[in-house]
Amino acid sequence: MASAVEWLLGRFSVDLGIDLGTANTLVCIEGEGIVLTEPSVVAVQKGTNRVLLGGNAVGESAKVMLGKTPGNIVAVRPLKDGVIADFEVAESMLRYFIQRVHKRKWGVRPRVVVAIPSGITAVEKRAVINSAERAGARRVFLIDEPLAAGIGAGLPITDPTGSMIVDIGGGTTEVAVLSMAGIVTCQSIRVAGDELDEAIMNHMRKNYNLLIGELTAERIKLAAGSAAPLEEEFQVEVKGRDLVSGLPRKTLIGTEEVREAMKEPIGIIIDAIRTTLEQTQPELAGDIVERGITLAGGGALLTGLDRRIQDEIQLPVTIADDPLTCVARGTGAILAHISLLRAILAVNDED
Ligand code: ADP
Ligand code: MG
């Protein structure tokens, strides 16, 4: 009977899949695809955890505030290091996103599938469930991010064959070997896109006495960052504040230099891939030799990273289609199965 009620509720509500990323949150609706993509950033009043009122306190409009807010406002990234660093703020953000996309039919609340980093603790899992429930979910299902990424990337994750997925996000890189719908080996490290930005900031400070913000560093990475030599190297302009004079200044920096600046974090990511492979059972390792490694997450888009990993690990490397949306599309695929399962249960229940 309970599942019949669930089934009925399902008729009056749409279900949501959420990729609660450290850099970006994506929401998809079953049958519609991705309906929201926003940076995981919230503008709050300093000292309190109160989210600013108005439509510009969450997402893209809050991200542009990073490093630019007046004294009483701070733009925060509640998931920065891959775990929920700030529960209250994370919950407000989640509520805002859910409410923005959920077309509530007759007051029925949505079921929600949330992809979570594989490294998080039971307490953190509970916190995500509570947050999503308080943010308006009727039921919350959690799925490990690497699995969602594997589904979204179109890997044969349910087959008894090993697939390797490397999801390079903002705060964390997750390296996982998947087989038969489970994670066989997995490593989650806190080195990903943010660390590349930080490496660029440090480089500018040390070598040019130039202080730059994290958004500027990210822009340099997107425009001029690479992990392997380019056919044509070039220069970009960097603006910041001079450490000595304290005054604003700009300078030019070349692509070789940006690559050199990011060398260490990129090396750490490649090492994580290597050690995960070393821990993989021989049969599965054999499958990976055949199938290669799939890259997902925004970091997969770093120019030349696929080539670089291929050179160092000596295995074929593929970038998933639309790597930034893999996890979200994976949660969407799972929603379809939840409905299917529920429908079957409901039918059986009626027998
Ligand atoms: P998360 O899942 O942690 O929210 P995402 O998968 O959304 O992270 O990826 C965000 C990261 O990807 C950021 O660090 C961003 O700078 C980086 N990124 C996005 N596009 C590119 C690109 N073209 N080249 C290099 N890095 C990129
Ligand atoms: Mg992610």
For residue range 124-163, what is the model confidence (pLDDT) as tens digits? 888 889 989 988 898 999 999 999 999 999 999 999 999 9
Q: Which atom of ligand 1 is nearest to the CA of 192?
A: 14
pLDDT of residue 241: 97
| Bridging pattern class, strands 163-168 and 293-296 | parallel
pTM for the whole thing? 0.92
Residue in 93, 301, 305 to alter for ligand 1 test, most ligand atoms within 8 A of Cβ: 301
The residue to mutate among 20, 22, 26, 214, having the most atoms of ligand 1 within 8 angstroms of its beta carbon, is 22
Cβ–ligand 1 contact at 221 (below 6 Å): yes
Task: Compute, in angstroms, the gap from residue 41 CA to the centroid of ligand 1.
Answer: 14
According to the per-residue pLDDT averaged within each range, which of 30-44, 114-128, 129-143, 290-304 is highest?
290-304
Enumerate residues 6+ apart whose C-beta is below 8 A from 314. none
Residue 59: predicted pLDDT: 92
pLDDT at 10: 59
Bigger pLDDT: 215 or 339? 215
Percent pLDDT > 70 in the chain is: 90
For residue 168, what are the contacts with CB-CB under 8 A and spacing of at least 6?
A: 192, 193, 269, 295, 296, 297, 298, 299, 300, 302, 305
CB 105 within 8 A of CB 13: yes
Name the β-bridge partners of 17.
Answer: 28, 113
Asked whether the beta carbons of 39 and 23 are under 8 A apart, the reply is yes
Contacts of 122 (CB under 8 A, 6+ apart): none
State which ligand 1 atom lies nearest to the alpha carbon of 193: 14
Instruction: Count the Cβ atoms, other than its own, within 10 Å of residue 50.
Output: 13
